Amino acid sequence: MTVTILDPTDERAPIERQITTRPAKITGVVGLLDIAKPRGNVLLDELERLLSSELPGVELRRYRKPTFTKPAPSDLRLKMKSECNYVVEALAD
């Protein structure tokens, strides 16, 4: 059941979840989050290899959710938020 609300703005911007602005250059720390679904680690291993060769100045850190069936625990989210500039989440199996 959806909830309908009325737009309080002057309606010049579309109402949708906006994706974060893409940076011209990647710096700092990139987190690689394994959601604990089978073979997600294979994708992330390959991604880590590619990123470390193409972005030598960028630090890569691995994270892992306890289970893919539930949202990431809040302490893990906070940890990634405080440590990373970017996070890549491997979704597929």
The binding site for another protein (CB under 8 A) comprises 1-12, 15, 17
Between 6 and 24, name the residue whose CB sits nearer to another protein: 6
Rounded-to-integer distance, Cα 90 and Cα 40, Å: 6
Shortest reach from residue 53's CB to another protein, in Å: 36
Q: What's the min distance (Å) between Cβ of 68 and another protein?
A: 17
The residue (of 8 and 23) whose beta carbon lies closer to another protein is 8
Q: How far is CA 73 from the centre of its chain?
A: 14
Least separation in angstroms between residue 44's CB and another protein is 26
Query: Euclidean distance between the first and final Cα of the chain, in Å?
Result: 30
Which of 50/78 has CB closer to another protein? 78
d(CA 6, CA 15): 11
Measured from the Cβ of residue 65, the count of other Cβ atoms closer than 10 Å reads 19
